[in-house]
Amino acid sequence: MTEIPQLVQSFSRNNEDLREWTERVFTDLLSDSEFRWLFCNTLSYMEHIGSYKIMATQQGDVIDYPTLKHLNEETGHAVLFKRHAERFKGSGLDYAESLLIAPAYARAYFSRLEVSMVRYFGRDSNYRTIYLYMSLIVEFRAVWAYEILAGCIEKAGLDFSLTKLLAEEQGHLNSMVRRLEEDGQFSREQVEYFWERERWLYVRLLKAIEKSRSAENFNYVGKQETVSEAYSAA
């Protein structure tokens, strides 16, 4: 059995130079009453995209209990962030472009990562494998980013807990590794390959988010991935 804590630690080491930058972005968004609800609505939107992709690719007679449970919990995460977004806004919200931060980049985060996997495995490959790898790589980022976000929420003194969400995301991580291993498809080399692709896309997304807020408030001095490199990496 793959040692998942070791994988999580390796992912964290690979992204240590992004931690301070990410924390600054999250803290700044949460400190602004206008951007707080926009940020939460955008996180809801991204969770919704994730659940939609599961539904779109794993349906009919191929969907099993673990996949259905994954779909249900991802939808629940979208609901959680939507609920707090509407609470912070004081009114109902949909996913109109004007009610989100960098929505095109949020969509591209998923679509370009998926395209890179289709290219890697081939269009005739088992889409269950692509779904499992896609979910696995996104869950590494989710666990990493939501742990940072939870700390930022606590420091901001907001009545908003991510405890249940984090436990479920960690459960998804464990589930994806186990299911890939059961299928004989798990490869540490492939995981690390996709980590690099995802990292470019995460940096690109975070840069777009910071630009929408106030670029001069952010000073990222880690690895200088450019937007064009982010595109080519996908």
| Low-confidence stretches of the chain (pLDDT beneath 50) | 215-234
Predicted local distance difference test score (pLDDT) of residue 1: 55
Predicted local distance difference test score (pLDDT) of residue 44: 98
User: For residues 197 and 113, is the Cβ–Cβ distance under 8 A?
Assistant: yes
Residues contacting 142, CB < 8 A, separation 6+: 169, 172
CA quadruple 144, 148, 153, 159: dihedral positive or negative? positive
Predicted local distance difference test score (pLDDT) of residue 99: 96
Alpha carbons within 13 angstroms on the beta-carbon side of residue 28 total: 18
Q: What is the pLDDT of residues 59-105, one digit of tens each?
A: 677 788 998 999 999 999 999 999 999 999 999 999 999 999 999 99
Q: Is 14 exposed, middle or buried (0-12, 13-18, 19+ CB in 10 A)?
A: middle
**Sole residue written with tokens 């670029």:** 215
Domains along the chain? 31-233 (1.20.1260)
User: For residues 58 and 67, is the Cβ–Cβ distance under 8 A?
Assistant: yes
Short-list 12, 34, 42, 11, CA closest to 206: 42
User: For residues 196 and 86, is the Cβ–Cβ distance under 8 A?
Assistant: no
pTM of the model: 0.89
Roughly how many angstroms between the first and final C-alpha of the chain, as a whole number? 30
Q: What percent of the chain has pLDDT over 90?
A: 77
Predicted local distance difference test score (pLDDT) of residue 231: 40
Predicted local distance difference test score (pLDDT) of residue 10: 96
